[in-house]
């Protein structure tokens, strides 16, 4: 935290970085406004009460996790209720699955920045299509399924007009979210979509603190004298997870690389040693976000449709079914996301051969490729186990300690991993700008004081 604070103080003294930070904060503030704007014709207070009842009924399962990732917009049917889930799902479908299966899209992916822009444009179109589908289903659930199950009125004026209005409003909100995220990525600091998700999670902290205060109040002390001890254990567990996340996210597998000595005339070139860094968790928080987005649609149906109520009960936060499916999806997307970026590491073998570099004990060429692939597979396995442990183990322990669902959702590994991971990535971008500015200031005095 001190490094981050020091970087922010230095960044604030540089006009260019100050503009980027202010722009990012302004976009995040604008996004938070949209989180609280309700969809016309919906009783948001009654819907929030039903979500709270469902959350307590299922022990804080997938519904609580989804509501936390949307910043509470889902449980109150606001303009940004869909959050970033349709965009992430569309990105998975277009830029990963279809780009691997369809030769024309795969060719675009190999064309560099031009092909990437076309693929990204296709992802935007797919996002709008998914937003229309999800918003229509959501409007239908608000109009029919919830009143039938809970014997209440959520929609003030049900009918085709309400469904069309909800689709237009939420789809426009999804388009607005895409635009805001892209503005942050292009003109601000950090990844736009990741920062929006982080803002949603951080925005739920006051409610989590309130629930925790209620649990540790006088009534809780009378019922359970061990409540303060549970609180101390939660804080200790939280600190331990944060330290583990930072340690692994900063971890690298360094492969030693030597350069052969060459004699050109009277000069000797090469003979140096360096290393090829392989990040332990190269996928970051994307595997978890992908897993959540894939579970989004079926579990939304399972939560509200009466015929599928039994399935929703199986997917409570502490149930075996939820944790098994969640773990399998995280494992799959960890290996899948790493495989998509594996070529850039494996191509390093050809570059090493051209410049006369080699890994000690490994023959250049195909042997080097196989060695790098084997190392990358092992590192990815460690990352997959780490992500599954961080995402699932805290939820199980929190459920065992009988803490409120909202508190468990915040102290759980998924939200914590996203917040810490995005914070570290944003800090690295700030420090890269500071480093570039530092080198410029080395030649022009009076710009910025060097960092120790």
Pick from 153, 195, 279, 169: which is nearest to 26 by CA?
Answer: 195
Read off the pLDDT of residues 128-151 as tens digits, 9 standing for 90 and up: 998 998 888 888 888 876 666 677
What the block records as the tokens of 318 is 């502490």
Q: Higher-confidence residue: 346 or 104?
A: 104
Query: CA–CA separation, 20 vs 188, rounded Å?
Result: 4
pLDDT exceeds cutoff 50 at 6: yes
Pick from 157, 71, 29, 136: which is nearest to 409 by CA?
Answer: 71
Query: CA–CA separation, 339 vs 419, rounded Å?
Result: 25
Q: Residue 254 — φ and ψ, nearest 5°? A: -95, 120
pLDDT of residue 141: 80
The answer as to whether 452 is a domain residue is no
What is the three-class DSSP state of 81?
A: coil
How many folded domains does the chain comprise?
1
Stretch 349-371: mean pLDDT, rounded? Answer: 76
Give the range among 42-56, 234-248, 402-416 with minimum mean pLDDT.
402-416
Confirm if 379 and 262 have CB atoms less than 8 A apart.
no
pLDDT of residue 449: 42
CA 379 vs CA 46, 54, 338, 352: distances in Å: 48, 39, 10, 21
Q: Is the dihedral of CA 97, 98, 102, 108 positive or negative?
A: negative
The answer as to whether 379 is a domain residue is yes
The answer as to whether 202 is a domain residue is yes
pLDDT of residue 268: 59
CATH of the domain at 278: 1.10.3370.10
The answer as to whether 299 is a domain residue is yes
Q: Residue 278 — φ and ψ, nearest 5°? A: -115, 115
The answer as to whether 409 is a domain residue is yes
What is the three-class DSSP state of 341?
A: coil
Residue carrying structure tokens 């599954």: 388
The answer as to whether 449 is a domain residue is no
Pick from 67, 65, 60, 52: which is nearest to 318 by CA?
Answer: 60
Query: CA–CA separation, 76 vs 82, rounded Å?
Result: 11
Give the pairing of strands 252-259 and 273-279.
Answer: antiparallel
Mean predicted lDDT score pLDDT of the chain: 75
Range with top average pLDDT, 156-165, 205-214, 272-281, 422-431: 156-165
The answer as to whether 451 is a domain residue is no
pLDDT of residue 70: 81
Buried b (16+ CB within 10 A) or exposed e, 372-408: beebbeebbeebbebbbebbbebbbbbbebebbbbbb
Radius of gyration over every alpha carbon of the chain, rounded to an integer in angstroms: 25
| Partners of 155 in the β-ladder | 42
CA count, 13 A, side-chain hemisphere, 253: 18
Q: Which domain range does residue 358 map to?
A: 2-443
What is the three-class DSSP state of 82?
A: coil
Read off the pLDDT of residues 314-346 as tens digits, 9 standing for 90 and up: 655 556 777 788 888 888 888 877 776 666 666
Pick from 2, 54, 66, 137: which is nearest to 296 by CA?
Answer: 66
Q: How many percent of the chain have pLDDT more than 90?
A: 7
Residue carrying structure tokens 């014709």: 41
Exposed / middle / buried, residue 64 (Cβ in 10 Å: 0-12, 13-18, 19+):
buried
The answer as to whether 82 is a domain residue is yes
pLDDT exceeds cutoff 90 at 294: no
Confirm if 356 and 259 have CB atoms less than 8 A apart.
yes
pLDDT band at 197 (very low <50, low <70, confident <90, very high): confident
Count of all residues that appear for the chain in the document: 452
Stretch 90-98: mean pLDDT, rounded? Answer: 79
Query: CA–CA separation, 15 vs 19, rounded Å?
Result: 6
Exposed / middle / buried, residue 128 (Cβ in 10 Å: 0-12, 13-18, 19+):
middle
Stretch 107-119: mean pLDDT, rounded? Answer: 80
Confirm if 120 and 106 have CB atoms less than 8 A apart.
no
Query: CA–CA separation, 70 vs 5, rounded Å?
Result: 27
Range with top average pLDDT, 83-92, 107-116, 353-362: 83-92
Residue carrying structure tokens 């970026």: 341
Residue carrying structure tokens 């996004």: 31
Read off the pLDDT of residues 261-293 as tens digits, 9 standing for 90 and up: 665 666 655 567 777 788 888 777 778 777 877
What is the three-class DSSP state of 273?
A: strand
Range with top average pLDDT, 294-303, 322-331, 364-373: 322-331
Q: Is the dihedral of CA 213, 218, 219, 220 positive or negative?
A: positive
Residue carrying structure tokens 């399972």: 302
């Amino acid at each position: 935290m001190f490094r981050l604070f020091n970087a922010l103080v230095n960044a604030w003294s540089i006009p260019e970085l100050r503009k980027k930070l202010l722009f990012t904060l302004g976009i995040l503030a604008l996004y938070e406004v949209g989180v609280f704007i309700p969809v016309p014709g919906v009783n948001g207070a009654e819907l929030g009460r039903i979500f709270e009842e469902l959350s307590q009924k299922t022990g804080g399962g997938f519904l609580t996790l989804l509501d936390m990732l949307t910043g509470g917009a889902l449980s109150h049917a606001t303009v940004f209720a869909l959050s970033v889930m349709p965009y992430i799902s569309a990105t998975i479908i277009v830029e990963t699955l279809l780009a691997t299966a369809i030769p024309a899209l795969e060719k675009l992916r190999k064309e560099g920045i031009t092909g990437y822009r076309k693929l990204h444009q296709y992802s935007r179109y797919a996002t709008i299509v998914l937003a229309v589908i999800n918003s229509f289903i959501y409007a239908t659930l608000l109009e029919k399924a919830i009143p039938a199950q809970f014997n209440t009125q959520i929609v003030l004026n049900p009918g085709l007009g309400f469904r069309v209005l909800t689709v237009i409003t939420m789809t426009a909100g999804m388009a607005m979210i895409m635009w805001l995220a892209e503005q942050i990525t292009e003109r601000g600091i950090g990844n736009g979509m990741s920062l929006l998700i982080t803002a949603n999670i951080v925005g739920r902290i006051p409610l989590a603190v309130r629930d925790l205060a209620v649990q540790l109040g006088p009534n809780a002390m009378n019922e359970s004298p061990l409540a303060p001890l549970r609180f101390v254990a939660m804080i200790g567990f939280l600190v331990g997870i944060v330290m583990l996340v930072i340690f692994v996210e900063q971890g690298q597998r360094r492969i030693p690389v030597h350069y052969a000595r060459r004699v050109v005339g009277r000069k000797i070139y090469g003979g140096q040693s360096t290393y090829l860094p392989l990040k332990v968790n190269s996928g970051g928080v994307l595997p978890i976000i992908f897993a959540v987005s894939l579970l989004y649609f079926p579990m939304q149906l399972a939560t509200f449709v009466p015929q599928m109520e039994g399935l929703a009960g199986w997917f409570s936060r502490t149930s075996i079914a939820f944790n098994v499916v969640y773990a399998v999806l995280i494992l799959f997307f960890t290996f899948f996301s790493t495989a998509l970026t594996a070529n850039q590491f494996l191509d390093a073998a050809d570059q090493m051969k051209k410049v006369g570099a080699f890994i000690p004990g490994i023959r250049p060429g195909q042997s080097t490729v196989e060695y790098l692939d084997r190392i990358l597979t092992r590192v990815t396995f460690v990352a997959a186990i780490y992500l599954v442990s961080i995402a699932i183990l805290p939820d199980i322990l929190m459920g065992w300690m009988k803490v409120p669902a909202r508190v468990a959702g915040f102290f759980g590994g998924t939200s914590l991993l996203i917040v810490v991971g995005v914070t570290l990535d944003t800090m690295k971008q700030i420090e890269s700008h500071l480093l570039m500015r530092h080198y410029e200031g080395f030649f022009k005095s009076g710009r910025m004081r060097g960092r120790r």
